[in-house]
């Protein structure tokens, strides 16, 4: 059987002299604590600290990086154990996790050359101590070993959290969430380790399913009259305060574009009334989302929450998958995105205020050098988020650094975040980012564009300090 081997120099430059510099830089950051300031892990894992149920439920079923690749090869999501929405048609969902695992193992070759392959191999080797490559022949051995480990106390979520040297992890919840898991974590002394983020798309986007009902629930929760724009804004302020009391330091916005608006109040009132009545045109919906980004920026100036914007994704592009399985099932597709014009209303209103921190992400790499780096290299309120989703990869990270550093520098960036639902991949993802940043810095040193002592400082900032500062995670 082929051996599972993680080469110590993986992702480092091939040139020996440059590789030696990368090794030295990496030695200074490889053991730093992990700051995971944005992601989608389930807070109940850490609050309840129950064993993960089985290998498939942990490593396959919740991970859209995995099942989107398998789906692209004609494997039904049902066969991978992905749950369907109530009443959805189609074949039954596979409930035998060993069958799901065998199917994954039989198709593991599909992941050659992908980040998912690197992350999974790291998990199998470093977390579970497996020494052979996953294949149809080793599938049952893998399953048995992982399943047995998951029954042990040192493989429960909190134990793995500590083993991975995670200092803080941020989950993402919507404004209607009661945050009961975060309340439990705070009561048990884990509130500073697992914090929430405010993700209000379901009450800011008129195109979101159930928007009017969501706004009504927001009013019921807060006691505010969300039938008026003023009351709606008060309700959002109330929930932001609630989230902040439960540890939140950031908000997150997954709007399809980066459009912002700054309407006179009378126009905003009328636009909100149309949105609530379901009478928005597509143009109205876009303008309303844009207005609410500017409103969120204003609220961030008041309460200090860092603002994240994740535009440029045509979400849930596959209508059939969305109808049967719901959101976040691997069908988000990058699309062309304008930032210079789109962000101008917000930046004209608040962009020169250094108290505001807006972190902008993109899936449109063509905007890095042309738009985003120049914007982040000028406006005090704007920072540039790392390579995200499809570009959370060695090549994506390299392109990001090459296209942004010369204009925005390293210090208009916010370090790395893993943006994942796959808990066990977090240390693997951070290790890839640290290796790639050390490789990039090593080239600058080898080309006499940076002193090695300075490169050591930058490497530590990229791996740890920048994320901690950008997300206001304490001293």
Cβ atoms of 160 and 187 closer than 8 Å: no
What pLDDT, on a 0 to 100 scale, did the predictor assign at position 383?
A: 98
Using the predicted structure, report yes or no on whether residue 475 has a pLDDT greater than 80.
Answer: no
- The residue out of 128, 154, 180 marking a domain boundary is 154
CA distance 36 to 411: 18
196 φ/ψ angles, rounded to the nearest 5 degrees: -105, 165
Domain encompassing residue 180? 16-50+156-470
What pLDDT, on a 0 to 100 scale, did the predictor assign at position 331?
A: 87
CA distance 83 to 354: 45
11: in domain = no
Tokens of 1: 């059987």
Q: Are residues 280 and 309 in the same domain?
A: yes
**Could you say which DSSP state residue 411 is in?**
T
CA distance 368 to 41: 28
Q: Is 327 exposed, middle or buried (0-12, 13-18, 19+ CB in 10 A)?
A: middle
**Average of per-residue pLDDT values in the chain:** 96
Cβ atoms of 152 and 22 closer than 8 Å: no
2: in domain = no
221: in domain = yes
Q: Are residues 309 and 394 in the same domain?
A: yes
Q: Are residues 215 and 129 in the same domain?
A: no
8: in domain = no
208: in domain = yes
User: Please, what is the angle between helix 265-276 and helix 211-222, to 10°?
Assistant: 110
Percent of all residues in the chain with a pLDDT value above 90, rounded to a whole number: 95
Q: What is the pLDDT of residues 445-462, one digit of tens each?
A: 999 999 999 999 999 999
Q: Are residues 167 and 135 in the same domain?
A: no
Mean pLDDT along residues 286-294: 98
- The residue out of 154, 174, 202 marking a domain boundary is 154
Q: Are residues 259 and 148 in the same domain?
A: no
Q: What is the pLDDT of residues 318-344, one digit of tens each?
A: 999 989 999 988 889 999 999 999 999
| CATH label of the domain that carries residue 115 | 1.10.2020.10
Q: Are residues 248 and 181 in the same domain?
A: yes
Cβ atoms of 434 and 455 closer than 8 Å: no
93: in domain = yes
Q: Are residues 396 and 351 in the same domain?
A: yes
Mean pLDDT along residues 118-136: 97
Using the predicted structure, report yes or no on whether residue 382 has a pLDDT greater than 80.
Answer: yes
Q: How many angstroms from the chain centroid is the CA of residue 380?
A: 24
Give the range among 95-99, 126-130, 170-174, 331-335 with minimum mean pLDDT: 331-335
Q: Which DSSP helix (H) or strand (E) runs through 313?
A: strand 313-314
Tokens of 289: 């989302």
pLDDT band, very low/low/confident/very high, at 1 (cuts 50, 70, 90) = confident
Q: Are residues 274 and 379 in the same domain?
A: yes
Using the predicted structure, report yes or no on whether residue 204 has a pLDDT greater than 70.
Answer: yes
Mean pLDDT along residues 215-225: 98
What pLDDT, on a 0 to 100 scale, did the predictor assign at position 90?
A: 87
Q: Are residues 366 and 448 in the same domain?
A: yes
Q: Are residues 111 and 165 in the same domain?
A: no
How many Å from the N-terminal Cα to the C-terminal Cα in the chain? 49
9: in domain = no
Q: Are residues 294 and 434 in the same domain?
A: yes
- Structural domain count, the chain: 2
4: in domain = no
What pLDDT, on a 0 to 100 scale, did the predictor assign at position 56?
A: 97
What pLDDT, on a 0 to 100 scale, did the predictor assign at position 474?
A: 78
Percent of all residues in the chain with a pLDDT value above 70, rounded to a whole number: 100
- What is the model's pTM? 0.96
What pLDDT, on a 0 to 100 scale, did the predictor assign at position 80?
A: 96
pLDDT band, very low/low/confident/very high, at 368 (cuts 50, 70, 90) = very high
Q: Are residues 44 and 184 in the same domain?
A: yes
Using the predicted structure, report yes or no on whether residue 38 has a pLDDT greater than 90.
Answer: yes
Residue (of 365, 366, 355, 339) closest to 260 by Cα position: 339
pLDDT band, very low/low/confident/very high, at 119 (cuts 50, 70, 90) = very high
- The residue out of 154, 189, 220 marking a domain boundary is 154
pLDDT band, very low/low/confident/very high, at 2 (cuts 50, 70, 90) = confident
Using the predicted structure, report yes or no on whether residue 400 has a pLDDT greater than 80.
Answer: yes
| CATH label of the domain that carries residue 246 | 3.20.20.140
């Amino acid at each position: 059987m082929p051996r599972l081997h993680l080469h110590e120099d993986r992702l480092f430059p091939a040139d020996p002299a440059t590789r030696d510099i990368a090794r030295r830089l990496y030695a200074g950051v490889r053991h730093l604590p992990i700051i995971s300031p944005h992601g989608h892990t389930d807070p109940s894992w850490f609050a309840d600290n129950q064993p993960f149920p089985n290998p498939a439920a942990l490593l396959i079923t919740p991970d859209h990086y995995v099942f989107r690749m398998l789906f692209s090869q004609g494997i039904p999501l049902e066969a991978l154990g992905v749950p369907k929405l109530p009443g959805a048609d189609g074949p039954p969902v596979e409930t035998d996790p060993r069958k799901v695992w065998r199917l994954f193992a039989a198709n593991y070759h599909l992941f050659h050359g992908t980040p998912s392959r690197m992350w999974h191999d790291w998990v199998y080797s470093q977390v579970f101590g497996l020494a052979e490559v996953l294949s149809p022949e080793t599938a049952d051995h893998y399953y048995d070993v992982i399943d047995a480990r998951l029954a042990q106390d040192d493989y429960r979520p909190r134990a793995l959290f500590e083993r991975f040297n995670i200092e803080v992890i941020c989950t993402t919840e919507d404004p209607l969430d009661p945050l009961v898991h975060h309340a439990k974590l705070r009561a048990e002394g884990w509130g500073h380790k697992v914090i929430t983020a405010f993700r209000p798309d379901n009450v800011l986007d008129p195109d979101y399913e159930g928007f009017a009902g969501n706004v009504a629930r927001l009013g019921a929760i807060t006691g505010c009259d969300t039938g008026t724009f003023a009351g709606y804004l008060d309700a959002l302020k109330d929930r932001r305060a609630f989230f902040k009391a439960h540890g939140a330091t950031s908000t997150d916005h997954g709007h399809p574009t980066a459009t912002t608006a700054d309407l006179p109040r009378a126009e905003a009132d009328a636009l909100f009334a149309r949105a609530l009545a379901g009478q928005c045109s597509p143009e109205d919906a876009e303008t309303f989302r844009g207005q609410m980004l500017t409103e969120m920026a204003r609220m961030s100036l008041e309460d200090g929450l860092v603002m994240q914007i994740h535009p440029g994704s045509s979400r849930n592009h596959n209508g059939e998958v969305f109808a049967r399985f719901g959101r976040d099932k691997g069908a988000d597709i990058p699309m062309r995105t304008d930032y210079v014009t789109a962000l101008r209303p917000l930046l004209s209103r608040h962009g020169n205020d250094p108290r505001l921190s807006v972190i902008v992400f993109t899936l449109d790499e063509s905007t890095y050098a042309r738009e985003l780096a120049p914007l982040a290299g000028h406006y005090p309120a704007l920072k540039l988020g790392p390579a995200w989703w499809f570009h959370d990869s060695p090549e994506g990270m390299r392109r990001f650094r090459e296209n942004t550093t010369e204009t925005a520098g390293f210090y208009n960036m916010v370090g790395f975040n893993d943006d994942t639902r796959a808990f066990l991949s977090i240390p693997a993802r951070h290790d890839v980012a640290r290796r790639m940043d050390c490789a990039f810095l090593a080239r600058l040193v080898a080309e006499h564009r940076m002193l090695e002592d300075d490169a050591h400082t930058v490497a530590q900032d990229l791996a740890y300090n920048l994320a901690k500062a950008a997300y206001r995670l304490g001293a």
